[in-house]
């Protein structure tokens, strides 16, 4: 059986030049047909992180290697159920001719082997937008940033005059931001939704709390009559009518925003909560300042850019949280800008700088303690 692998004339090996600079990288990749399956082999540092996810539309597998740059080939030929591969944004995209399953995925000694076999459409549909396989050293020391693309599924969010749906724009922006952050290698990233799925507000907060997130960033592009430009919100009494109205509308997405605290006596709970909140508030405010600074470099801002509001998704008592309105889909100029991938990439890079800046300071408690507010 193994001998017949030689028949797979599709096997093409691309040995990349050795990287000039030190730094983790994928240095080679091959894709070969084998008994009707496809075998993907990546050469990367032993123990490096990797992950395979699936998307239904387009039907595709996505291979990511967070923390390792891609220095392998930019394209891979068709093999078995795989129509071909290409590298985009540091990830390998495998376009599929038919639904597939992962038969095997494991890494030893810097050789990651992923066997992809034809599967049923029903099984593949269940895999879409999920992680199928992953490995590598858990980067446990890296802080986790939770990105929360607003709305989803039956809740489209704001719909612009040109028909743009907020749920799609914020998901695309969050995915871009995730790529930016993972390429930076300073944090792990998780998303409260990675597809067009309705997630109740309370579950978004719980998602971050269960994972012990260091930072929670919610992304929106809502409507506000006449307003234009990006803005950022932290939890508080509504600082103005616009902020209050935005929060009220967002919170209507569901009413189950309750918080659960560990089972400790009520008085201990109250003390814990107020301590956490003071620190959390300071962390949220610092993040908001960085977001304003970085976004202001690149995109138009709403005057009075940092505002307070009672958004349910900002209510995790122990996790600094901000909600970024990347612009307002109710404004034709913002809508036109947010539809453009290049504009979203610009926003993502600015937010990436803010988040990395925030994390760099969070690593040094003395700097945090010295920070005002
Ligand atoms: Zn929204």
Judgement on whether residues 276 and 338 belong to the same structural domain of the protein:
yes
* CA 304 to centroid of ligand 1, rounded, Å: 19
Judgement on whether residues 191 and 69 belong to the same structural domain of the protein:
no
* CA 38 to centroid of ligand 1, rounded, Å: 41
pLDDT of residue 371: 41
pLDDT of residue 174: 98
For 319, the token pair is 């996790």
pLDDT in tens, 165-207: 999 999 999 999 999 998 887 889 999 999 999 998 888 988 9
SS3 18: coil
* % of the chain beyond a pLDDT of 90: 54
Residue with tokens 């950022």: 232
* CA 166 to centroid of ligand 1, rounded, Å: 7
Alpha-carbon dihedral sign for residues 232, 235, 237, 242:
positive
* CA 127 to centroid of ligand 1, rounded, Å: 27
Judgement on whether residues 99 and 236 belong to the same structural domain of the protein:
no
* CA 223 to centroid of ligand 1, rounded, Å: 8
Among 90, 111, 135, the domain boundary falls at: 135
Among 110, 135, 160, the domain boundary falls at: 135
pLDDT in tens, 237-259: 777 888 888 888 887 765 433 44
pLDDT in tens, 63-96: 999 888 899 999 999 999 999 999 998 899 999 9
Residue 370 scores a pLDDT above 50:
no
Please answer whether residues 201 and 252 qualify as being in contact, where contact means their C-beta atoms are separated by less than 8 angstroms: no
Question: What Cα–Cα distance (Å) separates residue 303 from each residue in 187, 232, 245, 292?
Answer: 31, 11, 17, 11
Please answer whether residues 51 and 131 qualify as being in contact, where contact means their C-beta atoms are separated by less than 8 angstroms: yes
β-pair partners for 25: 69
pLDDT in tens, 324-369: 999 999 999 999 999 999 999 999 999 999 999 999 886 544 344 4
Between CA 138 and CA 84 the distance in angstroms is 30
Judgement on whether residues 161 and 304 belong to the same structural domain of the protein:
yes
Residue 9 scores a pLDDT above 90:
no
SS (HEC) of the chain: CCHHHHHCCCCEEEECCCCCCCCCEECEEEEEEECCEEEEEEECCCCCCEEEEEECCCCEEEEECCCCEECCCCEECCECCEEEEEEECCEEEEEECCCEEEEEEEEECCEEEEEEEECCHHHHHHHECCEEEEECCCCCCCCEEEEEECCECCECCCECCCCCEHHHHHHHHHHHHHHHHHHHCCCEEEECCCCCCCCCHHHHHHHHHHCCCCEEEEEECCCCCCCCCEEEEEECCCCCHHHHHHHHHHHCCCCCCCCCCCCCCHHHHHHHHHHHHHHHHHHHHHHHHHHHHHHHHHCCEEEEEEEEECCHHHCCCCCCEEEEECCCCCCHHHHHHHHCHHHHHHHHHHHHHHHHHHHHHHCCHHHHHHCCC
Judgement on whether residues 114 and 217 belong to the same structural domain of the protein:
no
* CA 158 to centroid of ligand 1, rounded, Å: 7
* CA 151 to centroid of ligand 1, rounded, Å: 6
Prediction pTM value? 0.61
* CA 34 to centroid of ligand 1, rounded, Å: 47
pLDDT of residue 90: 86
Among 86, 106, 135, the domain boundary falls at: 135
- Of 31-35, 225-229, 365-369, least confident by mean pLDDT is 365-369
CATH code (residue 157):
3.40.630.40
* CA 275 to centroid of ligand 1, rounded, Å: 30
Please answer whether residues 360 and 243 qualify as being in contact, where contact means their C-beta atoms are separated by less than 8 angstroms: no
* % of the chain beyond a pLDDT of 70: 83
Judgement on whether residues 228 and 262 belong to the same structural domain of the protein:
yes
Judgement on whether residues 57 and 20 belong to the same structural domain of the protein:
yes
Nearest to 314 by CA among 222, 202, 211, 220: 202
Between CA 51 and CA 84 the distance in angstroms is 18
Judgement on whether residues 260 and 126 belong to the same structural domain of the protein:
no
CATH code (residue 78):
2.60.40.3500
* CA 253 to centroid of ligand 1, rounded, Å: 9
* CA 90 to centroid of ligand 1, rounded, Å: 29
Domain that holds residue 113: 3-135
- Number of folded domains in the chain? 2
β-pair partners for 32: 39
Judgement on whether residues 318 and 286 belong to the same structural domain of the protein:
yes
* CA 147 to centroid of ligand 1, rounded, Å: 14
Please answer whether residues 218 and 204 qualify as being in contact, where contact means their C-beta atoms are separated by less than 8 angstroms: yes
Please answer whether residues 312 and 251 qualify as being in contact, where contact means their C-beta atoms are separated by less than 8 angstroms: yes
Residue 275 scores a pLDDT above 70:
no
* CA 333 to centroid of ligand 1, rounded, Å: 17
Judgement on whether residues 119 and 190 belong to the same structural domain of the protein:
no
Judgement on whether residues 192 and 271 belong to the same structural domain of the protein:
yes
* CA 220 to centroid of ligand 1, rounded, Å: 4
* CA 274 to centroid of ligand 1, rounded, Å: 28
* CA 222 to centroid of ligand 1, rounded, Å: 5
pLDDT of residue 368: 42
| Radius of gyration of the CA atoms of the chain, in A | 22
Judgement on whether residues 98 and 155 belong to the same structural domain of the protein:
no
Of 140 and 67, the structure prediction assigns the larger pLDDT to 67
């Amino acid at each position: 059986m193994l001998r017949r692998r030689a028949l797979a004339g599709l096997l093409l090996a691309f040995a990349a030049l050795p990287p000039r600079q030190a730094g983790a990288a994928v240095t080679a990749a091959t894709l070969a047909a084998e008994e009707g399956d496809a075998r993907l082999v990546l050469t990367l540092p032993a123990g490096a992180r990797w992950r395979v996810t699936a998307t239904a539309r387009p039907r595709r597998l996505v291979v990511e290697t967070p923390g390792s740059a891609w220095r392998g080939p930019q394209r891979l030929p068709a093999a078995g159920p795989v129509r071909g591969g290409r590298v985009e944004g540091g990830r390998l995209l495998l376009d599929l001719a038919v639904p597939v399953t992962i038969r095997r995925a494991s890494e030893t000694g810097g050789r990651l082997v992923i066997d992809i076999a034809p599967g049923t459409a029903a099984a593949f549909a269940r895999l879409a937008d999920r992680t199928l396989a992953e490995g590598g050293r858990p980067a446990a020391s890296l802080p986790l940033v939770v990105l929360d693309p607003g709305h989803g599924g039956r809740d489209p969010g704001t719909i612009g005059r040109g028909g743009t749906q907020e749920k799609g724009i914020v998901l695309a922006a969050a995915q871009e931001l995730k790529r930016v952050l993972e390429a930076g290698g300073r944090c792990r990233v998780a998303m409260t939704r990675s597809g067009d799925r309705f997630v109740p507000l309370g579950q978004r907060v719980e998602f971050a709390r269960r994972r012990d997130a260091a930072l929670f960033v919610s992304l929106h592009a809502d409507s506000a009559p006449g307003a234009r430009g990006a803005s950022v919100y932290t939890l508080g009494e509504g600082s103005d009518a616009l902020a209050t109205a935005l929060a009220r509308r967002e919170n209507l997405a569901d009413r189950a925003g309750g918080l659960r605290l560990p089972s400790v006596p009520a008085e201990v709970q109250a003390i814990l909560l107020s301590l956490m909140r003071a620190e959390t508030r300071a962390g949220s405010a610092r993040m908001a300042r960085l977001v304003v600074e970085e976004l202001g470099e690149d995109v138009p801002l709403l005057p009075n850019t940092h505002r307070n509001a009672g958004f349910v998704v900002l209510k995790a008592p122990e996790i600094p949280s901000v909600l970024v309105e990347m612009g307002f889909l109710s404004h034709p100029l913002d809508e036109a800008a947010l539809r453009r991938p290049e504009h979203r990439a610009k926003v993502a890079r600015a937010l990436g700088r803010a988040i990395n800046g925030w994390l760099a300071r969070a690593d040094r408690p003395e700097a945090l303690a010295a920070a005002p507010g």
